[in-house]
Amino acid sequence: MNYGIKRLFVDSSVAGSPVAEAISKKIGILPSLVDGPGPVYRAVSESPDPEAAGKKVLFLTKNSGTFIKDCPGTSHYTCCGYRILHIGTYCVMDCSYCILQAYFHPPVLQFFVNHGEMKKALALAFEDRQIMRIGTGEYTDSLIWESFYPLSKTLVPLFASQSSCVLELKSKTTAIKNLLDLEHNRKTIMAWSVNTGRVIHDQERGTTSLENRILTAKTCVSSGYPVAFHFDPMLIYDGCEDEYIFVVDFIFDNIPADEIVWISMGAFRFMPLLKPILERRFPASRIVYNEFVRGIDSKMRYFKPLRMRLYRSVIDRIRKRAPDVCVYFCMEDEEVWEKTMGFSPAVHGGLARMLDVSAKKHCGLSGRFRPGPISY
Amino acid sequence: MRFDSTHLDPSSIDIGDDRYRITTALPDKSLGRSISLVGLLHPPVLQAVLQKTTASYIVVSGFNRIKAVSAMGWSKIDCFVLSGDTSPKDCLLFSIADNVSSRSLNLLEQANAVRKLSVFVPDKIFLCAMLEDIGLNLSPGLVSKYERLLKLPQELQAVVGRGLMPLAAALSLEGMDLHSVHMICGLIERLRPGTNLQKEILSRLKEFAAQKGIPVSSVLELPDVSGILNSGEADRKAMLQHLRKALRRLCFPSLCAMEDQFAESLSRLELPPGVRFVFPEGFEDTRYRLELEIKSASDMENHGCLMQEISSHPALLEIFKRELRD
């Protein structure tokens, strides 16, 4: 399976590298050697639908910047202090709401093959002995690359060999085959982005069903992995509350609560730039037409009382099913926390600390906590 | 291009052949009055057509002038006649250049000029370069938009041609059902909103319709909207403002309810003149703004007393509670 990749570009600086060679062989397309991303970007930009074209063009290159970077949390909202392991960009699946369509100019499937440098960056992070949550699923889906190259076979054992950092692999796929027999030492959290069946069917092209995601998580739990779930983006529509509650129940009907490191929630928000892209690419989608107001970070967000109402129903259900599971918001403000969770993360030393504590508890971390709350 | 100056009987001109016609407007009375007063300053341009049986000439430019003098009963008209072997492309270029040199073409006229000329010059870059040489500056991107404009319903094209609707607004109605387009055209003709207001009204109409899965015409027929449009309000601007508010309420019912709550609480505070209490946009932020007008130290003192007085007022506490009542 090559996920419909039609063109393969290899940066001349990494030509001949074992990873690039292995991927080229696996995909079975004759690669075009290029000096830098220019020709790749042109090939994508010239398409009438660059966001779709970018999903069929794979560019193997090196990460010339930092491999571990702070999650680009926006100002004024509470950020969780996540770190991104920057393994690649964009995604082969096609979710209408995906911000990556507007975030990269143009969006291109890029996989960084200079894994030697990635390992050095990780070694430095591990040496620091500070508790750190690191994920690969921010600029891409963590597991889509597994069919091209089994990166998990490198990352999972690396994290297993230390005890201060935890890796979160976040996905909408079932591509866990490479992971099940790995020595993970519970330092890898397998996470799924979840949504209602209706949202998955209508808005998440090419992703696997809710049932498959949860059953795949269940398989990972059987292999000893801790798991996490992200209700993000939550969409507001008639009947959404009942459908999200169904998702909560489905999770807890299949996954033991004490195996869940955290559950996050985030209502749909978007940069205004995404709206025309979504309207053009997904004319049947109605998700951008609702009571959206401009947030303090200039992103469009559901009018606060509406999103708080949805949060309250879901939180109530989670609390009913699993009172102790760690639940948090991705990018919400104090008011939302106070009025829906009943507390501010500040009482736990900040959101980052709250999650670090949960990671420590579930994954057996022994590093030191980072000092002070994260503030932006 | 070779042409001769001559006097012709208007009946020898085939005014119905509009292959080179660019102008969308029909002649108005002022053209006739002007010609009566000062004569025909700028003779029409024709082309001799040998194979025609009932007429010997077709119009290259000057349709309205010919109609005007015909209506005035002139028996002869001064004309320039291009030779019969002038190519259609050259005739068209002449027509466009003649029109461009005397006035600004409206969007529909530009679109028609592009459509007609692109038959001979399909490459958009060459087409734009050629048009630039005769005084019409267009980009290939705009040419593509004009192609889309000419696929819109005629009624909508006409509204654009009359300068009542910007091109972008018209293109945003692509794919809309004819009844909705008809109703929007009627609304625009009648209320003549400016560009920004038009953009807002159209986007609210479309988004609400999309959200509810109904055509725009059904939104315009909702009592809250049709009541305004059929109210008999004579003041166009007042009606536009009512329409704008009604559409906002449809699209943002909860936000508007919160704003109403805020206004109601604020009125209970009975703030004196010179004091403004402003809520954060969209109630997203939790910080409110208080604006005080101060001209003297005693103003400050008075404001201080007022602050103390209202700080425990139930209405203020309600404002800060920020709960949307069901």
Interface of B with A (CB under 8 A): 207-208, 210-211, 213, 251-255, 258, 281-286, 322-324
Phi, psi for residue A249 in degrees, rounded to 5: -60, -40
- Show residues of chain A in contact with B211, CB under 8 Å: 286, 289-290
**What secondary structure does DSSP assign to A326-376, as a single string?**
-EEESSB-HHHIIIIISS-GGGGT-HHHHHHHHHHHHHT--SBPPSS----
Cβ separation of B211 and A286 shorter than 8 Å? yes
With beta carbons less than 8 A apart as the criterion, state whether B210 and A289 touch. yes
Region of residue B192 (phi > 0: left; psi between -120 and 50: alpha; otherwise: beta): left
Provide the greatest CA pair distance for chain B.
95
What is the pLDDT, as a whole number, of residue A4?
Answer: 86
Cβ separation of A305 and B284 shorter than 8 Å? no
Residue with tokens 């696929």: B151
- Count of CB atoms situated within 10 Å of the CB of A197: 14
State both tokens at B23: 């102008």
State both tokens at B114: 């592009």
pLDDT tens, A86-113? 999 999 999 999 999 999 889 999 999 9
Comparing A79-88, A298-307, A330-339, B183-192, the range with the smallest average pLDDT is A79-88
- Whole-angstrom Cα distance, residue B318 to residue A70? 39
Comparing CA positions, the residue from A211, A240, A229 lying closest to residue A312 is A240
Q: Which of A293, A306, A333 to mutate to test the interface with B (most CBs of B within 10 A)?
A: A293
With beta carbons less than 8 A apart as the criterion, state whether B60 and B96 touch. no
CB-based burial label for A129 (10 Å; 0-12, 13-18, 19+): middle
**What secondary structure does DSSP assign to B59-95, as a single string?**
EEE-HHHHHHHHHTT-S-EEEEEE-TTS-HHHHHHHH
When the pLDDT of each residue in chain A is averaged and rounded to a whole number, the result is 94
Cβ separation of A291 and B213 shorter than 8 Å? no
Residue in chain B closest to A237 (alpha carbons) equals: B211
pLDDT tens, B189-201? 999 999 999 999 9
State both tokens at B208: 């609400």
Angle made by CA atoms B13, B19, B20, in degrees to the nearest 5: 85
- Whole-angstrom Cα distance, residue B224 to residue A35? 61
The alpha-helical segments, DSSP class H, found in chain A are: 18-27, 38-45, 50-53, 100-103, 115-128, 152-160, 197-203, 210-222, 240-254, 274-281, 304-321, 334-336, 351-363
At A166, the amino acid letter reads: V
Give bridge partners of residue A293 from the DSSP assignment.
A301
Phi, psi for residue A11 in degrees, rounded to 5: -65, 130
Bridging pattern class, strands A109-112 and B77-82: unpaired
Non-local CB neighbours of A124 within 8 Å, separated by 6+ positions: none
Instruction: With respect to residue A203, please indicate whether it lies within any of the assigned structural domains.
Output: yes
Decide if pLDDT at A1 tops 60. Answer: no
Tell me the residue range of the domain where A204 lies: 64-101+113-363
What is the pLDDT, as a whole number, of residue A374?
Answer: 45
Instruction: With respect to residue A248, please indicate whether it lies within any of the assigned structural domains.
Output: yes
Provide the 8-state DSSP code for A172: S
Provide the 8-state DSSP code for A283: T
Angle made by CA atoms B156, B158, B159, in degrees to the nearest 5: 65
What is the pLDDT, as a whole number, of residue B51?
Answer: 63
The alpha-helical segments, DSSP class H, found in B74-177 are: 88-102, 107-118, 124-133, 140-149, 154-161, 167-171
3-state secondary structure of B135: coil
Comparing CA positions, the residue from B100, B102, B94 lying closest to residue B137 is B100
Non-local CB neighbours of B40 within 8 Å, separated by 6+ positions: B65, B69, B77, B78
CB-based burial label for B188 (10 Å; 0-12, 13-18, 19+): buried
With beta carbons less than 8 A apart as the criterion, state whether A241 and A196 touch. no
Decide if pLDDT at B102 tops 70. Answer: yes
> Could you say which of B207, B211, B284 has the minimum Cβ distance to residue A304?
B284
Comparing A180-184, B102-106, B314-318, the range with the smallest average pLDDT is B102-106
The pTM of the full predicted model, rounded to 2 decimals, is 0.88
Decide if pLDDT at A376 tops 50. Answer: no
Decide if pLDDT at B52 tops 70. Answer: no
b/e map B254-275, b = 16+ CB within 10 Å: bbebbbebbeebbeebeeeeeb
Cβ separation of A293 and B285 shorter than 8 Å? no
Residue in chain B closest to A333 (alpha carbons) equals: B285
With beta carbons less than 8 A apart as the criterion, state whether A84 and A139 touch. yes
What is the pLDDT, as a whole number, of residue A375?
Answer: 41
With beta carbons less than 8 A apart as the criterion, state whether B55 and B12 touch. yes
With beta carbons less than 8 A apart as the criterion, state whether A15 and A33 touch. yes
Residue in chain B closest to A286 (alpha carbons) equals: B211
Provide the 8-state DSSP code for A181: T
- Whole-angstrom Cα distance, residue A36 to residue A262? 39
Q: Which helix (H) or strand (E) holds B224?
A: helix B223-229
Query: What is the value of ipTM here, to two decimals?
Result: 0.89
Instruction: With respect to residue A118, please indicate whether it lies within any of the assigned structural domains.
Output: yes
CA distances B19 to A335, A375, B56, B91, Å, are: 67, 69, 15, 10
- Whole-angstrom Cα distance, residue B271 to residue B316? 11
What is the pLDDT, as a whole number, of residue B11?
Answer: 86
Comparing A35-49, A258-272, B1-15, B239-253, the range with the smallest average pLDDT is B1-15
Instruction: With respect to residue A232, please indicate whether it lies within any of the assigned structural domains.
Output: yes
pLDDT tens, A11-55? 999 999 999 999 999 998 999 999 999 999 999 999 999 999 999
pLDDT category of residue B232 using cuts at 50, 70 and 90: confident
Cβ separation of B284 and A306 shorter than 8 Å? no
What is the pLDDT, as a whole number, of residue B10?
Answer: 86
Cβ separation of B283 and A303 shorter than 8 Å? yes
Cβ separation of A303 and B323 shorter than 8 Å? no
- Whole-angstrom Cα distance, residue B92 to residue B84? 14
Q: Which of A269, A303, A335, A336 to mutate to test the interface with B (most CBs of B within 10 A)?
A: A303
With beta carbons less than 8 A apart as the criterion, state whether A127 and A144 touch. no
pLDDT category of residue A370 using cuts at 50, 70 and 90: confident
Measured between CB atoms, does A298 come within 8 Å of chain B?
no
Instruction: With respect to residue A244, please indicate whether it lies within any of the assigned structural domains.
Output: yes
- Whole-angstrom Cα distance, residue B72 to residue B68? 6
Q: What's the CATH code, domain B1-87?
A: 3.90.1530.10
What is the pLDDT, as a whole number, of residue A81?
Answer: 83
- Whole-angstrom Cα distance, residue A10 to residue A34? 6
Q: Which residues of A, range 323-342, sit inside 8 Å of B by Cβ?
A: 333-335
Instruction: With respect to residue A2, please indicate whether it lies within any of the assigned structural domains.
Output: no
b/e map B66-81, b = 16+ CB within 10 Å: bbbbbeeeeeebbbbb
Q: Domain coordinates of chain B in residue numbers?
A: 1-87, 174-251, 254-321
Indicate the number of domains in chain A.
1
For the domain that residue A352 is a member of, what is the CATH number?
3.80.30.30
Mean pLDDT over B89-96 rounds to 94
